[in-house]
Structures are given as structure tokens and as C-alpha cells.
Amino acid sequence: MPICMYTHMCMYIFVSLSLCLSLFMDLIAVDIWCLLGRGKGGRIESKTSLYYYYYYLWLLLPHGMPGGVYTSAEVAKHAVKKDGWLIINNDVYNVSKFYDDHPGGRDVLLNLIGADATDAFEAVQHSDAAKRLLAGLKIGTLAQADAKKYMRLNDVKERQRKATEKTACWLVIANKVYDLTSFTELHPGGREVLLCEAGTDATLAHEKIGHSEQAKEMMKSYVVAELHPDDRRSTTSTAKESLEKNSNSVYTRAKDTSVRDFVLAQIQLMVFLSLGIVAVGFALIYV
């Protein structure tokens, strides 16, 4: 077989395999990413399905030292746009490549880099797809000395159940665990108000009653731990404030384009399939 023909044959086979791979990636992107990837946590911008597939693969790659252990001081040094790090639930993330793709806007991330963004993250509901994206940005964990202590809600209930003091009061407010045992007798509304909520997540009850900034500041001294991420929920007031703040956002006003995206992706699939068949045909002819 002439060398030029052999070269052409190899080229067409390579093209065929590339197109088949693209077809496979498109199937993955359409049927999994485009349909299951969009969730309650926010709307994904309308782009081609292949873009999201490549982008998801890119997010799975480490963007720092994999498995690294960092102190809060080290994270604080990365409060710069070109190399922005932040902390969420004792994990460290490099978000410097994610600013423009963040559904809530780049400014949200830029205002949080270099610090612990756990409260801001938990204040907004995020879909499973968003959490998978976040996992791809993880570069390490926070050093034990700087890490927050976590408690499960069941542990709070158990601590309350085993307490021997009559005024024992362990409860959760806004994803923080409080030991208010020494405060029950000092509570302006009476100790019964606290004791009836002991051992529970009292966030909603707490939000129904207005509290001064002084009272909120005083409560910080009674925090003993953070509620475990698996037991957390977005607080009503915080979620409401976030919604009002972003009411004029293009992401809030945007219509659901999932059907259109799906149709366009299927057209793209047909094009890839047709090109793949043609490429294979040429390869067979040269063989």
C-alpha cells in the first residue's frame, strides 16, 4: 500500500474515532448533564452540551496541591482574583477559574475569597450538580487547628436527653449548635421559651421573634459547634434576603431553556453521527 494512501487511511480512521468519541461525549452531556445537571440550586447558562462535558472533566482535575492541608492564614493569602481560595465546611477550594461561570455572578465569589464561605454557601440551596462542581474545585482541607467542630443533630438531641440539669438547653439555630444551659434563667422571654425547643432545630422559632443586633452578638458566646453539613438547611430569612438581593439578576429572570437545549443537542448529535458515518466510509474506501 502506498505510503500516502496509508497516511490518509490512518488520518480518516483517527477522524472517525474522534467523531465517535465526540458522539459518546455528546450522549453523556445531553442525557446526564443537561437534563439532570440543572437543579433547584440555580439555572445553568445555555451553552452547548459538549462545552459542559469538557468543563465538567476540567473541574474534576485538581487545581492546586491535591489532598493538601492548609491553615486559615494560608487561605487568607489567596484573597486575590487571579488565585482565589476559600473555605467551605473545612475544605479548601480554588475558585479562580470559576468566577465567570458561577450562576450567582462573579462578585459573589470575589467577595468571599480568602475567607470561610461556609455560611454564605449554606444560605442558598444548591443542587446536587452544583455540589459536584464544587467537589471538582477542592484542593485540600483545613488544618485541624483551624477546623470547625461539627455536631450531628442527633448528637444534639442525645446531649439534651442525657443532661442532668433542669435548665439544660442544647439546640440549633441557623446551623449553629448552642449550649444555652447557663442562659435559660437570663432569657428575657423566660426559660420555658428556650426549654420547649431544647434538643431541636429552633431556627424557625428564633426567626419568628425579632432579635436586636446586641442579642445576636451576645449569642455568639454560647456557640459550641457547627451543625454537620448533612443535617443543615437554608434558613428562611437568609434565603429570603438572598432571593430579594438577586431578584434583578438575569439568572432569576431567565426562562427555563432546558427543552430548547435538549433539541439543539440532539441536532448536534445527528450531525456528529452523520460525519462519523462519512468518515468511516472514506476510511473503508481507502482500505
Range in 122-136, 171-185, 255-269 the model is least confident about: 255-269
CA atoms of 182 and 185, how far apart (whole Å)? 7
* pLDDT value at 164 more than 50: yes
Q: Residue 105 CA to chain centroid, in angstroms?
A: 14
Q: Are residues 133 and 249 in the same domain?
A: yes
**Res 186 pLDDT > 70:** yes
Indicate whether 156 and 141 sit together in one domain. Answer: no
Whether 240 maps to a domain, the answer reads no
The string of pLDDT tens digits covering residues 124-161 is: 888 888 888 888 899 999 998 888 888 999 999 999 99
Is the domain of 190 the same as that of 61?
no
Same domain, 123 and 63: yes
Range of the domain at 210: 150-231
Predicted local confidence at residue 23, as pLDDT: 56
Cα 24 from chain centroid?
A: 27
Per the structure, the count of domains in the chain is 3
Residue 50 lies in a domain: no
Q: Do 140 and 249 belong to one domain? A: yes
**pLDDT > 50? residue 57:** no
136 in the same domain as 59: yes
pLDDT band at residue 41 using 50, 70 and 90 as cut-offs: very low
1-10 mean pLDDT: 51
Residue 8 has pLDDT above 60, yes or no: no
Helices (H), the chain: 3-28, 35-36, 49-60, 72-76, 106-110, 118-122, 128-136, 153-162, 191-195, 203-208, 213-219, 236-245, 250-253, 258-286
Task: Report d(CA 283, CA 110) in Å as an integer.
Answer: 51
Percent of the chain past pLDDT 70, that is, above it, reads 65
* Structure confidence at residue 280 (pLDDT): 74
Same domain (yes/no): 88, 143: yes
Q: Are residues 120 and 165 in the same domain?
A: no
**Kind of pairing, strands 91-94 and 223-227?**
unpaired
Region 274-282: mean pLDDT is 76
Q: How far are the Cα atoms of 30, 173, 265 from residue 268, in angstroms, in the given order?
A: 10, 49, 5
Q: Is residue 140 part of a domain?
A: yes
Contact 272, 17 (CB under 8 A): no
Dist CA 129 CA 116 (whole Å) = 22
Query: Which residue reads 459536584 in cell numbers?
Result: 132
Do residues 142 and 150 touch, judged by C-beta distance below 8 A? no
- The pLDDT-based confidence of 60 (bands split at 50, 70, 90) is very low
Q: In what order do the strands lie in the sheet with 170-173?
A: 150-151, 223-227, 176-179, 170-173
45 secondary structure, DSSP code: P
If we measure between CA atoms, which residue out of 215, 219, 214, 195 comes closest to residue 205? 195
Whether residues 97 and 120 fall in one domain:
yes
Q: Quick one: 8 and 140 in the same domain?
A: no
The angle, 0 to 180 degrees and rounded to 10, between the axes of the packed helices 3-28 and 49-60 is 90
pTM: 0.48
User: pLDDT at position 260, please?
Assistant: 67
